[in-house]
Structure 1
Amino acid sequence: MKTRAIRVHEAGGPEVLKTDEIELKEPGEGEAIVRHTAIGVNLIDIYHRTATAGQYALPRPATLGVEAAGVVEAIGAGVDNVTVGDRVAYWMLPGAYSAKRVAPAWRLVKIPDGVSDQAAAAVMLKGGTAFYLLHDIWKVKKGDNVLVHTAAGGVGRLMSQWAKHLGATVIGTVGSPEKVKAAQAAGCAHVVVLKDQDFEAEARKFTGGAGVDVVYDSIGADTFDKSLGSIRPLGMLVSVGQASGPVPPLDISKLAQKGSIFLSKPTLATFVAKREGIVRLAEGVFAGLKEGAITAEIGMTAPLAEVADVHRALEGRKTTGSIVLIP
């Protein structure tokens, strides 16, 4: 059986994304074939496309994409958590940029009634990320002051919504004035335009000089030092991405100088390494949708064949909300 897949044979810009026809094997023990109906796009896809070594490098040729929703078309022996015809979603599993794929069945979760395939593809990875960052890394509570970078983006918007729902006051940063309203709509009490304002000074001013309790920094190199400077003593900096490039090596004495700051560099992969973690995060996301703590706002949809243009838009910080590709 053949299927279409978007693969990279070498690291590079969006131009290295190629449509290939690949062989799809029959599902083996513990596996299922999923026909994709909606594919989520995430910053990690860009890291996978450009990395030549290290944490984000994938063996070449590699089918990109780590998140999708679809329908189970076939199952192998020993699969008991899904059956043919089930609507399912998964995340943190490379190979999503394809019409169909073989997936380990234990990575699949059923999509509940009332949640569309596009919503699931748009929100599962980002929502799961928001869930563990807000509930496990720093337990956000009523009265906290939280700074969220890229607050109009996919993860940032969900984190802003959820943090406000938990009772926190959210300061959000955005890349351009056009994104201010989107961040405000997500629940940010104060929005800082990075190219026009000093977010460290704004965070200090907004908190009466005290500093915020926690910063969630998805930008990386360009914002790391000022993120540290925005935090109150005994607060936390959570480094969750590197859109502007990796953070240079750190002299950890800086953490002491800034007021005994905690630093975390978590990855979603750790939280979904086992079935129970996947189920916990999925249930948390679906509950968040049901309670209205978060919404699945899709800012862009595009055919899978146009993925290179989508990557250009994402890298250029020209998108808001989540991005979904349609096979």
Structure 2
Amino acid sequence: MSTLAPSAAVATPHAPLTHATEVRLHRPGDATALQVERRPLPAPGPGEVQIRHRAIGVNFVDIYHRTGLYALPSLPATLGVEGVGEIVALGAGAAEQYGLALGQRVAYAGPPAGSYASARNFPAARAVPLPDGVSDASAAGAMLRGITAHMLFAHVRPLRPGDTVLVHAAAGGLGLVLTQWAKALGATVIGTVGSAAKAELAAAHGLDHAILYKDEDFVAAVKELTDGQGVHYAIDGIGGATLARTLEAVRPYGMAASIGQVAGDIGLVDPALLGPARSIALSRPGVFRFMTDLARYREGAAATLARLAAGLKVEVGGTLPLEQAAEAHRRLEAGETSGSLLLIP
């Protein structure tokens, strides 16, 4: 777990910053396209707060932004969609409308991108105050993943006690959160992992059954574990050819949610893969689309903080200095990480 300081207030003066170190992208490319730059930082505008970051979450969507798979609004741009920090300056209305204060710890997830920075200005409406019991590391590793879990299990397909769920990459940062969240809702969770060590890690976070996908056919293993029926709900962040196989692991009238494409584009999906013989549903939900609605965003953030308060464990698999964001991307793409990966300014 991380050795980052817990929730105690930072003993530093609260004054607007004039410059920030940022990790910028000028054109799509591999990890070497990331450039560390020192840039001016203006005072926060109306409805904004200026946040000095203490921990920054690294997510696969950052890689999608870097490669151009998911286009950013414009380039050059600062990457990153998740961060935790303290408020060092308030724009007009931030205190009155949103109850925020200097020195307050806040977290956030989602657009606008720009968290790969020592400090930034951010919409006050999307800055979520952190309670004292939630550490910087836990919040930075859980906010985006928690909102994703809430979206999947409360909105895409409400999870019911007794359901069986398949989670791919169960030892990853999102996989560990999904596993614990589903277990808390009364589900049985089957997860695919890449090694025995990752299976042990996932089991320590509540996974009921681990499938080493490199050694066995995960569809056959799922069928065996479910008496030939398949799972009620499958979460597939792998994409590529894996999605078609994931559909085979879903029982009639169940659902698969495609939430990523680490292994490549899912391409066109033939409706015949869904039914009528199989009679299953396929959803392609996007957490960024979910968070465009401010009420849903704050609902998901509140649900995440509630889960953390109830004991959700955030496994921090590694921390790197902000300036080594390119190395963080390399490790994530190579599958060398488990749990959450954080950048520290």
Same fold flag (TM > 0.5): yes
The aligned residue for residue 47 of structure 1 is 64
CA separation in 2, counterparts of 1:234 and 1:22? 53
Residue 162 of structure 1 corresponds to 181
Aligned partner of 2:316 in structure 1 is 298
**Match for 1:7 among 12, 17, 24?**
24
1:284 to 296, 303, 312: 303
CA contact 1:90–1:109 (8 Å) conserved in 2: yes
1:68 paired residue number? 83
Among 72, 85, 88, the residue aligned to 2:103: 85
Report the alpha carbon displacement of residue 100 of structure 1 after superposing the two structures with TM: 0.7
**Cα offset for 1:128?**
1.3
* Per-residue CA distance 1:37-64 (angstroms, 9 max, x = gap): 1101111011011116xx4444211111
User: 1:58, 1:208 → 2: CA distance?
Assistant: 48
Contact 1:134 1:159 in 2 (8 A): no
Q: 2:37 aligns with which of 4, 16, 20?
A: 20
The answer to whether structure 1 residue 207 and structure 2 residue 226 are counterparts is: yes
Counterpart of 1:267 in structure 2 is 286
Question: 1:258 Cα shift?
Answer: 4.8
* Distance across 2 between alignment mates of 1:3 and 1:313: 25
Q: Deviations over 1:68-89 (max 9, x none)?
A: 0001111111223112211101
Q: Which residue of 1 aligns with 2:333?
A: 315
Deviations 1:135-158 (A, max 9, x none): 221211211111000000011111
> What do the CA deviations read for 1:269-306 (whole angstroms, capped 9, x no partner)?
222213322221111011111112x2122111111111
The residue type equivalent to 2:108 in the other structure is: Y
Q: Mind listing any 5+ residue stretches in structure 2 that lack a counterpart?
A: 1-17
- One-letter identity of the residue aligned with 1:304: L
8 Å Cα contact 1:48/1:58 also seen in 2: no
Write the distance in 2 (CA, Å) between the matches of 1:56 and 1:116: 32
Q: Report which stretch shifted further, 160-169 or 270-279.
A: 270-279
Distance in 1 (CA, whole Å) between partners of 2:300 and 2:270 is 34
Q: CA deviation at 1:31?
A: 1.1
2:121 paired residue number:
102
Name the CA distance, whole Å, in 1 between partners of 2:108 and 2:192.
29
C-alpha distance in 1, partners of 2:248/2:298? Answer: 37
Worse-superposed segment, 232-241 or 21-30 = 21-30
Q: Give the alignment partner of residue 142 of structure 1, picking from 161, 164, 180.
A: 161
The one-character-per-residue Cα deviations of 1:239-258 (angstroms, maximum 9, x if unpaired) are 01111111011122221145
Residue aligning to 2:13: none
Q: Report the TM-score, using the length of structure 2 for normalisation.
A: 0.91
> Is 1:249 equivalent to 2:268 in the alignment?
yes
SS at match of 2:203: helix
Preserved contact between residue 205 and residue 313 of structure 2 (Cα < 8 Å): no
Instruction: Check whether the contact 1:229–1:258 (CA below 8 A) recurs between aligned residues.
Output: no
Tell me how far apart the structure 2 counterparts of residues 166 and 38 of structure 1 sit (CA, whole Å): 29
Structure 1 residue 2 displacement after superposition = 1.9
CA distance in 1, matches of 2:314, 2:229: 34
1:180 and 2:195 aligned: no
Amino acid across the alignment from 1:142? P
- Aligned partner letter, 1:221: G
For residues 89-135 of structure 1, what are the alpha-carbon distances to aligned partners after superposition, in whole Å with 9 as ceiling and x for unaligned?
A: 11002100001111111111101111112211111111111122122
Deviates more, 1:63-72 or 1:259-268: 259-268
**Structural RMSD (CA):** 1.3
Instruction: Describe the SS at the equivalent of 1:68.
Output: strand
Distance 1:28 1:58 in 2: 20
Matched to 1:60, the amino acid is L
Deviates more, 1:65-74 or 1:181-190: 181-190
Instruction: State how many pairs are aligned.
Output: 324
User: Helix, strand or coil for the counterpart of 1:256?
Assistant: coil
Percent identity over the alignment?
A: 44
